[in-house]
Amino acid sequence: MIYLDNSATTALCDAAKKKIAECLDCYGNPSSRHTLGLDSKKLVDEARVSVALSLGLKRGDAQSIIFTSCGTEANNLAILGSAYAKDKRRANKIITTNSEHPSVENVMQRLERDGFDVVRLSTRGGELDVEKFEQEMDSSVLFVSVMAVNNETGACYDVKKLFAEAKRRNPDVITHCDAVQGYLKLDICPQKMGADLYSVSAHKIHGPKGVGALYISPDMVKTKKIIPYIIGGGQESGFRSGTENLLGIVGFGAAAREGFENFSQNREKLISLRKLCEEEVTRAGAVVNTPCGERAPHIVSIRLPKIKSETMLNFLSAKGICVSAGSACSSHSQSVSGTLVDFGLARDEADSTIRVSLGIYNTEEDIKTFGAVLKDGIDMLVRFKRLY
């Protein structure tokens, strides 16, 4: 099997497997004060430091990392926790983009129903509509949320520049970045980016599923600009109640440490594989939906010649090759990808687009095999369509 769907999830790295195996008998509750509980708490604290370091933070800033059940929960906590931090706010406007992950967009729709004014910036061609941002960004803006990397197109947005301008115009604005797809793929971190809130997920970096994290800046805590929305025993500094997922967290810490230590070589490998993939795709007779600006090293959006993406997915799957048609979190939807339409594709083109997302365990041989099978699929399916 050739796995090319790493933006959906990744295989566990050996470091995570080893750490999880070492902790299988560590069943103490990290909140308990006895020996078993303290041993578990120590493991959680060690993992928190590893995740903090992987985000460019200092060891002493580790308490800014709040563990969650996933990236989706981290996004929900960031947005809802900020929007409802106070019953009444003078600022009621939120700025985001028209191609955010469902864990952001669907929360924005809820806030709209609750009376918030949500402004969505265009991302046509993979570039943010800076002109509209400048028109809308004023003292009425409560919150700005922009993803680092689009999970379907691979477009990278200049979030640092956007957040700096937002803070210049309104020092009280809260800035949030969904960095799930950019985490340990791009040389980015929350403090240099100017993000008050920053969401990441373990299973996108070869860690286990069921655990994510939210960076919360010290200023957000000090000024009480964010509140918890899962209420209970007050774990995770009171921001995310519920007994910690110990095995998930230690696996996350191990994967974060390994990914951070090998960041440069992993990134170079992914860029090399992406270039090879784009060459193979072109040779096969398909088109790469290339963003105008910077793009992620691991995502290739591919437009097929009038072949529905589902048809090609089934063909490739039968040949032992795993790709996707877009976000795994929205794969149950039968509608055409709004993200691809907003990118600039016609609806029939969006319906004929597949996504290849590369991982550090992929090889050049994987990519060449994929290219050959893709060409066979295009030739066969186009010929079959002409017959009927």
Q: How many angstroms separate the CA atoms of 12 and 248, rounded? A: 11
Task: Report the half-sphere exposure of 218 (CA within 13 A, side-chain side).
Answer: 7
Q: Tokens 């990278």 identify what position? A: 156
DSSP, collapsed to helix, strand or coil, labels residue 210 as: coil
Q: Check: CB of residue 311 under 8 Å from CB of residue 146.
A: no
Q: Where are the alpha helices (DSSP H) in the chain?
A: 14-22, 35-54, 71-83, 102-113, 130-136, 159-169, 190-193, 218-222, 246-261, 263-284, 309-318, 338-343, 347-350, 364-387
Q: Is 329 a catalytic residue?
A: yes
- Diameter of the chain measured on Cα atoms: 73
- 26, 189, 322, 329: the catalytic one is 329
Q: How many CB atoms lie within 10 A of CB 333?
A: 12
Q: How many CB atoms lie within 10 A of CB 88?
A: 5
Q: Which two tokens stand for residue 238?
A: 């009171």
Q: Which residues are catalytic?
A: 329
